[in-house]
Structure 1
Amino acid sequence: MGTVFSFDVRGGDPGAVRAALDEAVVGLRRADEVFSTYREDSEVSRLARGELTVARCVPEVAEVLELAAEAERVSGGWFSTAYRGRLDPTGIVKGWAVERAARRIAAAGAHGVNLNGGGDVQLLGTPGTERPWRVGVADPLRPGGLAAVVSAAGAAELAVATSGSAERGAHVVDPRTGRSAVTDLVSVTVVAPRLTWADCWATAAFAMGSREGLDWLESLPDVEALLITAGDEVRCTEGLAAWLG
């Protein structure tokens, strides 16, 4: 997936948690092997070339494609797995893989899991008594600065995902044109229970632009967001303030 992963795991039986952590790392590497569009021998690359059918792929491929189809439906087509006429599910794979890895560790008995995949974070449980997880949201217009701090206080699970052009340039594609999205935004940060969806919704909203993107995000249940425009205007969903601190 071409990114760095970091783990912060608290509590549980050390042996069981360590084994689950090792399995989670293997799972992340396996996801890259299966879904990478840069590997000619990956199942997704072979599927795109017509050398495999979904039925002949590992079960995770069908699972991810079903989730992607749901994301496309909910976003009205603004999230898509089609890139210049070729299958490319990478827009959903990282969030899905990180969330799955975090849940695997939590299931082993850890009372707190913080898994960061390239700046997108899945939080489960708590790091300690009366201590919530907190995630800083980078300010895209002020390198080294923070635009906000998200607190997971009161949430058993929370995810924070950002899509934008500050670090990776114009990499978000407008599915209607197949070209880089022309938008007034520099970043969209979404807060939701599951990273699978938070990552998708951030990408789709960024492609939409600030006005349509904000209205759409407001319509989604259990989703809050912070949008920053190239003109340094900050726009938020109505309930975001409850997660800041």
Structure 2
Amino acid sequence: MTATTRTTTTAAPVRRVVQLMGMPISLALRGRHAGTPEGDAAWAAAVAELRWVDEVFSTWREDSYVSRYARHEVALTDCPRELAEVVAIGLAAERESHGAFSIMRGGHFDPTGVVKGWAVDRAAAHLQVLGDTDVCLNAGGDLTCSTRPGAEPWMVGVEHPLDPVRLVARVPVHRGGVATSGTAHRGAHLVDARSGEAPSAVASVTVVAPTLTEADVEATAAYALGPDAAAWLRTRPGRVGLVVWRDGSTEVIG
């Protein structure tokens, strides 16, 4: 997924990028604080937030709280309170998806399906306090966006999962999160937690929601639900979604 601006009335965005959490994190700013010391300071704070999240939540670091909690070396109450927040989000998603989404993987605690969107929302909060400035923060293709009143929306391109060189949709976003779940780039890493099997009916699911936390979790849950992806998304209040089925057909929700 990519974010682009299509307007003649708004200056081209100022961009920043850093490699964190095993993926590129990129920022686009338009407006008053783009390219200013205040904008750069907010970007530095967002990066620091993501570094802290990686230290606490990385499943690849032996010394992270997530790894230590998964090995039963520490109790949840011994960890930063944010871990309990992530666990609560994951357990709610498990209930609401009838068990298709889970923060357990192969019997091991793994909240990765929650952490990415949640972390980017936290980082974006440092940028969204900038006055009269449009923000688009992209983490490996999932984005959170905000714009000034009356400003042009960010145009978010949704990659076609069966033909990644072209887009299947363009979504205008003034404020909210956009996330896509699929296996085009990482292989069959997404499974229905109830069966442990990768869904075969669906190629990708894109969700637009008020926050990236919600969009990311719900895109993953819907994908895991396979043939029930679109029907389940229709039960989510106010959601906009796009399901690309394995045969290349598409279904729009909302």
TM-score greater than 0.5 by the shorter chain: yes
Residue in structure 2 matched with residue 150 of structure 1 by the alignment: 171
* Aligned residue pairs, count: 232
Is 1:185 the counterpart of 2:233? The answer is no
Distance 2:62 2:41 in 1: 31
Residue in structure 1 matched with residue 143 of structure 2 by the alignment: 121
State the AA in 2 paired with 1:133: W
Conserved? CA contact 2:199–2:223, under 8 Å:
no
Structure 1 unaligned blocks of 5 or more: 240-245
Give the secondary-structure state (helix, strand or coil) at the position aligned to 2:163.
Answer: coil
Task: For residues 14-39 of structure 1, give each alpha carbon's deviation from its aligned partner in whole angstroms, at most 9, with x where no partner exists.
Answer: 33332221011011121112111111
Map 1:50-89 → 2, pairs under 5 A: 50-89=72-111
Distance 1:125 1:151 in 2: 11
2:231 paired residue among 198, 212, 215: 215
Give the secondary-structure state (helix, strand or coil) at the position aligned to 1:200.
Answer: helix
Cα shift at 1:130: 3.8
Residue in structure 1 matched with residue 222 of structure 2 by the alignment: 205
Give the secondary-structure state (helix, strand or coil) at the position aligned to 1:62.
Answer: helix
Residue in structure 2 matched with residue 103 of structure 1 by the alignment: 125
1:81–1:110 distance in 2 versus 1, CA, 3 Å: farther
Distance 1:84 1:53 in 2: 21
Report sequence identity in percent.
46
1:195 paired residue among 212, 228, 231: 212
Which runs of at least 4 in structure 1 moved beyond 4 Å after TM superposition?
none
Give the secondary-structure state (helix, strand or coil) at the position aligned to 1:174.
Answer: coil
Greater helix proportion: 1
Task: For residues 172-215 of structure 1, give each alpha carbon's deviation from its aligned partner in whole angstroms, at most 9, with x where no partner exists.
Answer: 022112x34232111111111110010011111111113x1111
Map 1:3-14 → 2, pairs under 5 A: 3-13=23-33, 14=36
Task: For residues 90-125 of structure 1, give each alpha carbon's deviation from its aligned partner in whole angstroms, at most 9, with x where no partner exists.
Answer: 001000011111122112435211000000010112
Distance 1:143 1:234 in 2: 15
1:26 paired residue among 45, 48, 62: 48
Is 1:225 the counterpart of 2:245? The answer is no
Distance 1:107 1:75 in 2: 33
Pairwise CA RMSD: 1.6
Give the secondary-structure state (helix, strand or coil) at the position aligned to 2:156.
Answer: strand
Conserved? CA contact 1:11–1:111, under 8 Å:
yes
Give the secondary-structure state (helix, strand or coil) at the position aligned to 1:97.
Answer: helix
Distance 1:95 1:225 in 2: 16
Give the secondary-structure state (helix, strand or coil) at the position aligned to 1:99.
Answer: helix
Distance 1:118 1:107 in 2: 23
1:110–1:44 distance in 2 versus 1, CA, 3 Å: farther
Structure 2 unaligned blocks of 5 or more: 1-20
Distance 2:90 2:235 in 1: 19
Greater strand proportion: 2
Give the secondary-structure state (helix, strand or coil) at the position aligned to 2:122.
Answer: helix
